[in-house]
Amino acid sequence: MVRSTFTKAYISLATGLIITVVAFLTLGSDFMRKTEVEIFLNDGQFFVNQYIEQRDQPNSLYKELTNTGKQQFYIFNLSLVNVKPDTLPCSDCRELYRLKSIPVYLVEDNLYAAVFPLPNSAKSLMFSENRDFFEPQFEWYEDSEVMFVIGLVAWIFVSLGVFVYVPIRHLHNQINQLNRASRRFGRGEFSARIDSDNFRLPLKELAESFNHMADDIEGHVRQSQIYTQAIPHEVRTPLSRIQLASDMARRNAVEEQEPFFDDIDRYVDDISALTASVVQISRVGGLTESELLDTQNLLPEHWLKQRIDRQEHYNKQISFHASLTEPAPALDVLETLANLVIDNLLQNAFRYADAAVAITLIGFDNTLVIDIEDDGAGIPKDKYDEIFLAFSRLDESRHSDGFGLGLTIASEAAKRLNWRISLGESELGGARFTVLIEC
């Protein structure tokens, strides 16, 4: 699965936030534990100092400790122990830290204990927390400190998410605007522009560059369309005069000159057909989005048979086969463009077929597939990319009338309809043009 850049950015953002929170909790818990241990050691040092000062006094507060070796003092337990180097003072404790040369132990994973050496004594004083006081008597969610940490983490997570996500989302939306405008422009909507006032650098420069580029291209396209539409109109007048002069000269011509006048008439017809094709290409490219929405509902089988009947068959054998699911998919398209696609492909097949043309219509779900095949010489595979270029005459085997504009018109019309035309080899031996239509 291919993810977009912003999807990856959002995933990276979420991953970064999770790593940040985990690191915060890990480092924060370690820092808080060290702070607790320092406070615990300060308390222990206080009792040790007091015991050292009073242990030889008759009114000492630590008589019980001196006499029995153990004493509970407020919320702490004091005991005199003999601790050998590299040994633990109790079986259920593990060393946690060593601060100021004092080892601090964790007893049963939730109570602190520390061993302080006593001057002029072989024993050490073990200072530990009283279980009855420090054993938690409530659930974690009732602990205000725990809830404070959770709230702080949640606040950090939300704050980072908002302050990082919002700018990225804004950037994402702006790039989507650029993308939509470029797609509209690519579909032939040359008026597509971007409101760059809402953009910030550097996307503002990109949006303005797109608008300048679109202005230039639109100007060139409009000018080209004017030329393309004006030239055929201007050509018609001299062609009409040539035709008129030829007809008048034919009246006084001898019989041997008739073939020359027939050639003139054919040349005039060819030029008229060429100008008509050029005008068609210009009109297809100049259709606006609103014009493309002026659609008609066509029944595929009836419409395709109608287009076949209207073509010049050149005495070729025709086979037509339709296989449509029930209910058959319907076409909701601009009929003029649809006719241009099929008519030009049919004309191409009839023109280059040796004896037979096969048309197949297949419909399933919301998809139509139209295959138009001939038994002619076919098209070399290395020429597939060139066949739809204007004025293409690809090989010597395809001698026929025309200027190589029919497939160009079909290709341009298909693009405006979002149809796809592909080229392959026919089972009849010639070329197969396949039109894929998403209804």
Alpha carbon of residue 414 to chain centroid: 25
> What is the separation, in whole angstroms, between the first and last Cα of the chain?
27
> What is d(CA 350, CA 371) in angstroms, rounded to the nearest whole number?
14
pLDDT over threshold 70, residue 85: no
Q: How much is the pLDDT for 140?
A: 58
Same domain, 414 and 340: yes
Average the pLDDT over each of 209-218, 401-410, 423-432 and give the range with the smallest value.
401-410
Same domain, 305 and 285: no
Average the pLDDT over 359-370 and give the result. 88
> Please, are residues 330 and 365 in contact by the beta-carbon 8 Å criterion?
no
Query: What residues are paired with 103 via a beta bridge?
Result: 98
Average the pLDDT over 340-363 and give the result. 91
User: By percentage, how much of the chain surpasses pLDDT 70?
Assistant: 85
> Domain boundary residue among 107, 135, 163?
135
Tallying the residues shown for the chain, one arrives at 439
Average the pLDDT over each of 34-43, 70-79, 246-255, 349-358 and give the range with the smallest value.
246-255
Same domain, 350 and 432: yes
Highest mean pLDDT among 119-123, 135-139, 175-179, 322-326: 175-179
pLDDT over threshold 60, residue 399: no
> What is d(CA 60, CA 75) in angstroms, rounded to the nearest whole number?
19
Identify the H or E element spanning 416: helix 406-417
Same domain, 339 and 422: yes
| Opening angle at CA 91, ends 85 and 92, nearest 5 | 125
Position 166 in a domain:
no
Domain of residue 282, CATH code:
1.10.287
Same domain, 16 and 126: yes
Position 176 in a domain:
no
DSSP letter (8 states) at residue 137: -
Position 147 in a domain:
no
| Opening angle at CA 10, ends 168 and 149, nearest 5 | 100
Q: How much is the pLDDT for 420?
A: 92
> Please, are residues 434 and 364 in contact by the beta-carbon 8 Å criterion?
no
Same domain, 350 and 428: yes
> Domain boundary residue among 251, 266, 289?
289
Pure H helices in 310-439:
335-352, 406-417
> Please, are residues 111 and 165 in contact by the beta-carbon 8 Å criterion?
no
Position 159 in a domain:
no
pLDDT over threshold 80, residue 290: no
pLDDT over threshold 80, residue 38: yes
Which structure tokens are listed for 261?
């006048």
Q: How much is the pLDDT for 403?
A: 59
pLDDT over threshold 70, residue 168: yes
> What is d(CA 345, CA 432) in angstroms, rounded to the nearest whole number?
10
Same domain, 243 and 364: no
CA atoms lying within 13 Å on the CB side of residue 87: 8
Query: What residues are paired with 148 via a beta bridge?
Result: none
DSSP letter (8 states) at residue 292: H
The b-or-e profile of 205-241 (16+ CB within 10 A means b, else e) is ebbeebbeebeeebeeeeeeeeebeeebeeeeeebee
pLDDT over threshold 50, residue 398: no
Q: How much is the pLDDT for 2?
A: 42
User: By percentage, how much of the chain surpasses pLDDT 90?
Assistant: 9
Position 157 in a domain:
no
> Domain boundary residue among 117, 135, 153?
135
Q: Tell me which of 281 and 304 has the higher pLDDT.
A: 304
> What is d(CA 45, CA 35) in angstroms, rounded to the nearest whole number?
15
Same domain, 318 and 265: no
Position 78 in a domain:
yes
Average the pLDDT over 221-240 and give the result. 73
Which structure tokens are listed for 77?
């337990």
Query: 416 to each of 228, 342, 419, how far by Cα in Å?
Result: 19, 14, 8
Instruction: Report how many domains make up the chain.
Output: 3
Average the pLDDT over each of 193-207, 349-363, 398-412 and give the range with the smallest value.
398-412
pLDDT over threshold 60, residue 395: no
> What is d(CA 93, CA 113) in angstroms, rounded to the nearest whole number?
8
pLDDT over threshold 70, residue 160: yes
> Please, are residues 178 and 204 in contact by the beta-carbon 8 Å criterion?
no
Same domain, 335 and 375: yes
Position 426 in a domain:
yes
> What is d(CA 25, CA 150) in angstroms, rounded to the nearest whole number?
9
Q: How much is the pLDDT for 285?
A: 64
pLDDT over threshold 60, residue 134: no
pLDDT over threshold 60, residue 387: yes
Same domain, 249 and 322: no
Position 28 in a domain:
yes
Domain of residue 434, CATH code:
3.30.565.10
Q: How much is the pLDDT for 393?
A: 64
Q: How much is the pLDDT for 133?
A: 66
pLDDT over threshold 80, residue 107: yes
> Please, are residues 379 and 426 in contact by the beta-carbon 8 Å criterion?
no
Identify the H or E element spanning 263: helix 258-285
Q: What range does the domain containing 72 cover?
A: 5-135
Same domain, 89 and 30: yes
The pTM (predicted TM-score) of the whole model is: 0.51
> What is d(CA 218, CA 215) in angstroms, rounded to the nearest whole number?
5
> Please, are residues 5 and 13 in contact by the beta-carbon 8 Å criterion?
no
SS3 166: helix
> Please, are residues 153 and 25 in contact by the beta-carbon 8 Å criterion?
yes
Same domain, 347 and 429: yes
Task: Write phi, then psi, for 436 (nearest 5 degrees).
Answer: -105, 125
Q: How much is the pLDDT for 291?
A: 66
